[in-house]
Amino acid sequence: MTVSTADGKAYWAWVGEDTSVYLGGGEGATDTAGPILSEPMTMTVLALDAANTVIAASPPTPIAP
């Protein structure tokens, strides 16, 4: 998953097998240091196969605080 700013610059990225993740990658803790969604951004999710080849991608999806 990649989170990008409104102008398309990468803000945060995560790779893993979980089906959901908090921005910053924490276990749901909201008082830890890390990236914060403080303005509208977009997220794109990629699906990879066992060889890490992209097999599917979502379109950029708007997200907001």
Q: Is the pLDDT of residue 51 over 80?
A: yes
CA distances for 15 relative to 30, 39, 60, angstroms: 20, 23, 17
Percent of the chain with pLDDT over 70: 85
Quote the domain boundaries for residue 2. Answer: 1-65
Residue 54's contacts (CB-CB under 8 Å, 6 or more residues apart) are 46, 47, 48
Into how many domains does the chain fold? 1
pLDDT of residue 28: 55
pLDDT of residue 14: 86
Q: Tell the burial category of 9 from Cβ atoms under 10 Å away from its Cβ (0-12, 13-18, 19+).
A: exposed
